[in-house]
A and B are shown apart, each in its own frame.
Chain A
Amino acid sequence: GAVVSQHPSRVICKSGTSVKIECRSLDFQATTMFWYRQFPKQSLMLMATSNEGSKATYEQGVEKDKFLINHASLTLSTLTVTSAHPEDSSFYICSARDPQGAFEAFFGQGTRLTVV
């Protein structure tokens, strides 16, 4: 089946620095990818929809200048957390749809971000 790869799986960074998370669709091309965030003991909430070749669409309450999304190719979307603060510590996960067949959504394994 289709595979979505996310890297890194865990990252620790200092306050004020930026962190980039990559999401790749390994065996299909994805014009649309989704980024989710999960705070401790909560469900996953959609942050933004990443569109290849155009600007991302952000959900209400998500700061687009803080969470930069780039979808430069049909197999890669990146999420950059800029000027990270401890409250940005969370679990981030991406998803991509395989346009072939049933157009199902597949999820990466997630990135655990800890800002110290």
Chain B
Amino acid sequence: SQQGEEDPQALSIQEGENATMNCSYKTSINNLQWYRQNSGRGLVHLILIRSNEREKHSGRLRVTLDCSKKSSCLLITASRAADTASYFCATDPGGYQKVTFGIGTKLQVIP
């Protein structure tokens, strides 16, 4: 299976702290995407990072990609209670191949 793995599977932090989530995968990719999912709701696309990129920013989010180590890291700075959600990485090999989701990290930000 290509399925990626997020680490940790669950994370609980205080509001204002930074949250770091890692995603490791096994095969080569064209790009990697991070999604957020609130309980019982749909996916919200956060960031897409391509294989030739090393880092990308979007507001309080920072994503890094290390293709040699087949890993990506999502950092949420100055977390808020509203950031409480599950976060998934999705690896895209490109072409007509399927996108594979990781098992997710459940983040809880305590006010």
Contact = CB atoms under 8 A, between A and B. Distances in A.
Q: Is B truly associated with A?
A: yes
Interface stretch (B64-72, B73-81, B93-101): B93-101
Interface residues of B, number: 23
Query: Interface range on chain A: under 10, 10 to 19, 20 to 34, or 35 or more?
Result: 20 to 34
A105 B99 contact: yes
Interface in B83-106: 88, 92, 94-96, 98-104
A51 to B, nearest CB: 9
B101 to A, nearest CB: 4
A104 interface: yes
Given A43-B104, A44-B101, A102-B31, A97 B96 contact: yes
Nearest to A32: B96
B98 A49 contact: yes
Given A44-B88, A110-B42, A110-B43, A103 B94 contact: yes
Contacts of B92: 104-105
Given A43-B3, A103-B95, A105-B92, A112 B103 contact: no
Given A32-B96, A109-B42, A110-B43, A43 B48 contact: no
Contacts of A43: 3, 88, 101-104
A65 B80 CA distance: 45
Contacts of B96: 31-32, 97
Interface of A: 9, 31-32, 34, 36, 42-46, 49, 91, 93, 95, 97, 102-105, 107, 109-110, 112
